[in-house]
Amino acid sequence: MMKQRALILSTAAFLAAAPQSASAVPLSGAVNADPQAGAGSGSAEDIVVTAQKRSQALIDVPQSISVVSGTTLELQQATSFQDYLKLVPGLQLTESTPGAGRLILRGINAGGVASTVAVYVDETPFGSSSGLVNGAVLAGDFDTFDLSRIEVLRGPQGTFYGSNSLGGILKFVTNAPDPTTLSARGRGGVEAVEGGQVSYYGNAVVNVPLTPTLAVRASGFYRRDGGFIDSIGTGGSDRQNDINSDRVYGGRASILFEPSSKFSFRASAILQNIEAKARSTVESDPDTLSTLYGQPTLSQFVPSFSNVAYRVYNGTGHLDLGFVDVSSSTSYGTQRQTSRTDATNNLSGLINAIFKVPNELYLGQNTNDDKFTEEMRLTKSLSFIDLLAGVYYTNERGYIRQEYVAVVPGTLTPATGLPQLALVNLRSRYEETAGFGNATLHFGEHFDLDLGGRYSHNSQRANQDTAGALAGGTSIFPTATSAENVFTYSAAPKVKFGENLSVYGRVAKGYRPGGPNVLPPGAPPGTPTSYTSDTLTNYEVGIKAQTADRTFSIDADIFYIDWKNIQLLAIVNNFGINVNAGKARSDGFELTATVRPTPGLNFSVNGAYTHARLVDDAGPLVGGRPGDALPFTPKYSVNLNGDYAWSIGDMLKPFVGVSSRFLSKQPGDFDQTFRTTNGRQRQLPQYTVVDLRAGADFGRFGLEAYVKNVTNAEGKTSTGAAMANGGPINPNGAVATGVIRPRTVGLALTAAL
């Protein structure tokens, strides 16, 4: 009783498995940057971004971009996706396990297994490009220590970034080695979470100039997050407290060789592991989604875990030939997930009834992705035009292995007297080549026109074999293949009124690759053997403005998105296949404003209104009807941030800060049964999270105290199904919902060389 690739929906691969489930962006300075930064003095510098594959001031880029500085991330204890959502308007996350999250921008999400927000680390695209390796729910959640900044580009980025950027891009920009300065810094802290265990972390970075033209930078990090969810024996499950602890550790190393202003080469390596025990989900009422049993609980029969390992290697070179600049980026990245998901409540009774063998049951899964990419670009700037042309190639290999394993109750010892239950192996290959170009025409000092296009060709193949009683016996499926060509474009006029005000419009198209379907046994006639790419066209108008002294800035836009041929996950004979449906739309606006009325005082607000909904029926296998809101996108989100810093003498600089994030109610996953019964999809309740922080800078040392989620709000972040294979997934028919961390009190110490 398995489903195929959308089994590949993270650890919820099998139907019987567990369900899946601020600061503003000123145009200068960094988002809520160092609170010691002055105001009213013009001390804030223009933000430089690389959104269009070249360095530009943020105010000059004709599209909606948010930038969060490394200083801000550290100041707000933002180490993962969950922590910096409040810093980026319109960015949402659905996550039930650390390292297994789905990013959403502008509401572009209809479920499925291929991502709509692409993740980059510097020049490296990370994660699967295909719909066969769980890319949607394995977004790269890189640790933020020693980052230069995070750039979030909203709207499709098909011209510069290619596939899987329907909703936008999240880009981690790391700090480069500095050949001029020897430096070292360390940071450590401890946290206590309400009703749970103690957490702690430690980070360190060192930058070493080897020669005036050669430098090395290396950093390491370790973080253990204490658990706060208990298994209390419901339905005969285990009794154990704080089952959802996790730890994140790894490091980055980079070497920069820059013998002249005309040539540079940088080689980098990133290693990161995310090791989570039980999912961070709680059992909730299937109708109201209120938490059951009066506390955060998750019924555990077989201990679960999810281990994710990132490895990213990149070499990037720049050469100025005089008549043209040449850039090359070569990357190799791997992503490995190993998981064990408890499926006892759903299937053990059935196995016992058929084979008369008492058992507990789990789903074991391995998800591997290996990706090589090469991109080469030529750029040339003239007085009236900026030109960029490039070629791109990627070769990706994916592998997923899923197996149901029955064990002796209370142990991990395989049960005897049973046949093989279910085993699925899926191997896939994805290859893409693309050529792209962009031209920015300057019509005088005040008007620019940005034009871009990209032609992409991809080919894919997949092989699947199955075995076991629940998988319909032993089967080796014919090789499934697909190929397609896609053209994407962008056009963006911009009018600039002096150095501090610009107005722009933008039309852009993005796409997500289609691919082959390996059909399940006995698939009815007409079941699609492949699915095609879905495409999205975005229309937006925006304004970026700031005062000359940088005491006030605003960035606002309105958008309308037409999404066609949307990809969805359907179930055929208990196997998951990818299918195409009709249309969806999203429209709304985003706003970011920052004010610095006096030196050391910063206020900011950012927010978004997003109306994302289906236009066409998604079909009975999916459960979405016309007018249904797209999953996990609140109509309203508002983030408020304030920081104040002052000086006492020459050495002591205290600071205080507060942040608040409000999310209106939002729909859960499409659910045909619930929709038919209730006439609507499940709704996650609205919530507000408040964070406080205070500390002091003593020069070489810094001390910070903070409280996250001061009011102990119970924000829900994901939903799952109540039933699968004709039985309840959780005891008493509960739905598992992802949940944010409860009130957390922490203390951090920083020391610098």
Instruction: Tell me the mean pLDDT in the region 93-98.
Output: 92
Can you tell me the mean pLDDT for 51-57? 84
Over residues 358-381, the pLDDT tens digits come to: 999 999 999 999 999 999 999 999
**Residue 45: what pLDDT?**
61
Say if strands 91-97 and 100-105 run parallel, antiparallel, or are unpaired. antiparallel
C-alpha 107/C-alpha 562 separation (Å) is 12
Residues 583 and 485: their CA atoms lie apart, in Å, by 21
Domains of the chain: 10-752 (2.40.170.20)
**Backbone angle region of 373, left / alpha / beta, with phi > 0 → left and psi within -120 to 50 → alpha:** beta
The pLDDT, as a whole number, for residue 23 is 31
Q: Is the pLDDT of residue 16 over 70?
A: no
Query: Of 665, 727, 638, 531, which Cα lies nearest the Cα of 4?
Result: 531
- Measured on CA atoms in the order 227, 232, 235, 238, is the torsion positive or negative? positive
Mean pLDDT computed over every residue of the chain: 90
Q: CB–CB of 175/190 below 8 Å?
A: no
**Helix, coil or strand: residue 700:** coil
> Which region, left, alpha or beta, applies to residue 322 given φ > 0 means left and ψ of -120 to 50 means alpha?
left
Name the E strands within 292-445. Answer: 305-320, 325-342, 360-381, 385-407, 422-443
The pLDDT score that the predictor gives to residue 84 is 87
Mean pLDDT value across residues 733-750 = 96
User: Given pLDDT bands bounded at 50, 70 and 90, which one contains residue 36?
Assistant: very low
Taking only the tens place, the pLDDT of each residue in 643-670 is 999 999 888 999 999 999 999 999 999 8
619 — pLDDT class (breaks 50, 70, 90): confident
**Taking the CB of residue 625, how many other CB atoms lie within 10 A of it?**
18
Give the span between the Cα atoms of 487 and 455, in whole angstroms: 5
pLDDT over 50 at 126, yes or no: yes
- Pairing status of strand 168-174 against strand 117-121: parallel
Over range 440-463, report the average pLDDT: 95
**What pLDDT digit, counting tens, does each position of 304-328 carry?**
999 999 999 999 999 999 999 999 9
Least confident of 172-186, 237-251, 419-433, 465-479: 465-479
Cα–Cα nearest to 479, from 464, 457, 497, 493 = 464
Q: What is the mean pLDDT of residues 151-176?
A: 94
**What confidence tens digit (pLDDT) does each residue in 668-678 have?**
998 888 999 99
pLDDT band at 3 (very low <50, low <70, confident <90, very high): very low
The DSSP code for 146 is: T
pLDDT (0 to 100) of residue 574: 67
Question: Does residue 15 carry a pLDDT above 80?
Answer: no
Provide, rounded to the nearest whole percent, the portion of the chain with pLDDT above 70: 94
Distance, CA of 27 to CA of 32 (rounded, Å): 11
* pLDDT over 60 (residue 1): no
End-to-end alpha-carbon separation of the chain, Å? 59
Q: Which tokens sit at 80?
A: 């993962």
Exposure string of 688-722, with b = 16+ CB inside 10 Å and e = fewer, is ebbbbbebbbeeeebebebbbbbeebbbbbbbbbb
